[in-house]
Amino acid sequence: MTLTASPSLLVAGIGEIVLSSSPDAHLVAYGLGSCIALAVWDPRTRVGGLAHFMLPSGPASPGSPVKFIDSGIDSYFRALEARGAALNRCTLKAAGAAAMLTLGSGLAIGRRNAETLQAALRDRGLSLTAAALGGNSGRTVQLEVADGRFLIKSLSSVTEL
């Protein structure tokens, strides 16, 4: 199993969302450390989305709609729904939140990101179908829009959630 490089590769940079309903699309977020990638896929409409969140909280930013989990998650969900996804039937998978950076208080950003994401989903009546959160190494992730597979590449392996 390998991560795909193709013309249908859509990359979610930090604070960005990529969406597609094309069966040959591969949605990717590179180099997740303390950041979190949230993949959402609707098995009925086959709409997929990938958001690359950087920090747990902060003001909404038009240039980086999902830079912050608390102010960006609703715009991500609205964008998915506008494409035909119904959140109540979607799979939600997340990866990242590694212990890479700490704030002056010593509270790990990765852990805070994971806690904020879980709380934001719970507040909206949603939960993760699968997750690879925490640890202390970076990851790259890829959502296959055709079938909803969520691939995670670390230093030595590629796994599927």
Residues with catalytic function: 35
Question: 41-54 burial by CB neighbour count: b if 16+ within 10 A, else e?
Answer: bbeeebbbbbbbbb
Q: What 3-state class would DSSP assign to 60?
A: coil
Q: How far is CA 144 from CA 5, 29, 68, in A?
A: 12, 12, 24
Instruction: Please provide residue 49's backbone torsions phi and psi, each rounded to the nearest 5 degrees.
Output: -145, 150
The helices-and-strands tally (H runs, E runs) of the chain is: 2, 10
Total length of the chain: 161
